[in-house]
Amino acid sequence: MLDAAAEVVRTDGVSGLTLDRVAEVAGVSKGGLLYHYGTKRELVLAMLDRTLTDADETLDRLADESGRTDGAFAHAYLEYVTSGMHGEDDGAAGIFAAAALEEGDLSPAQAQFARWQERLLDDDGIDPTHALLARVVGDGLWLIDLFGLAPPSPDQREQLADLVMDLIERGMGSSLT
């Protein structure tokens, strides 16, 4: 059902996110939809929650797989948006819907981003400014993809990520030179 809701946002936009439409795409009656999510707000919050949970798990996994001791999370953060692994199944639909609809409540997203930021700045073993750079670059690419605002090519993205990771590796142990 959350998949269906995300798909509706992708195809019809946030304003097309109606209970009827979600039910239709999910292959469920409206009654059945409302049986699980008593209100539209609940549905949107569930979308948001799933988006954040998925992203968090993916970041964890990527950080793990990177095999680094320092900068693992920064690397994961960049990798997440550099490769087109987000935006596929549900992407930013949850966040976007929550932000646009009055029934939304972005505070879970704000808390999640604050947690990521904390982890980057305090626990990733790299220069805080470099950590912030990784975060902002990641978020920037995400925004650009979300709105399709002249997205850079995969090559450009990779060079950009390499540049930032180079910086981070070089800057370890010392503040910015």
Partner DNA sequence: AACACTGTACTGGTCAGACGGTTTTTGGCC
Partner DNA sequence: GGCCAAAAACCGTCTGACCAGTACAGTGTT
* Rounded Cα distance, 114 and 120, in Å: 10
Shorter beta-carbon distance to DNA: residue 19 or 160: 19
By the rule CB under 7 A, 147 interacts with DNA? no
Shorter beta-carbon distance to DNA: residue 96 or 142: 96
Q: Is 51 exposed, middle or buried (0-12, 13-18, 19+ CB in 10 A)?
A: buried
By the rule CB under 8 A, 163 interacts with a second copy? yes
Residue-by-residue DSSP string for 141-170: HHHHHHHTSSPPPHHHHHHHHHHHHHHHHH
The footprint of DNA on this chain (CB under 7 A) covers a number of residues equal to 22
By the rule CB under 7 A, 46 interacts with DNA? no
CB 97 within 8 A of CB 47: yes
Shorter beta-carbon distance to a second copy: residue 48 or 63: 48
Shorter beta-carbon distance to a second copy: residue 26 or 109: 109
* Residue 46 identity (one-letter amino acid): A
Pick from DNA, a second copy, none: which does 34 bind, CB < 5 to 8 A by kind?
DNA
What radius of gyration do the chain's Cα atoms show?
18
By the rule CB under 8 A, 154 interacts with a second copy? no
Which residue in 2, 5, 9, 40 binds DNA (CB under 7 A)?
A: 40
By the rule CB under 8 A, 19 interacts with a second copy? no
By the rule CB under 8 A, 84 interacts with a second copy? no
By the rule CB under 8 A, 173 interacts with a second copy? no
The answer for residues whose C-beta is within 8 angstroms of residue 73's C-beta and 6 or more apart is: 59, 63, 116, 119, 120, 123, 124
Return residues touching DNA (CB under 7 A).
15-20, 23, 27-36, 38-41, 103
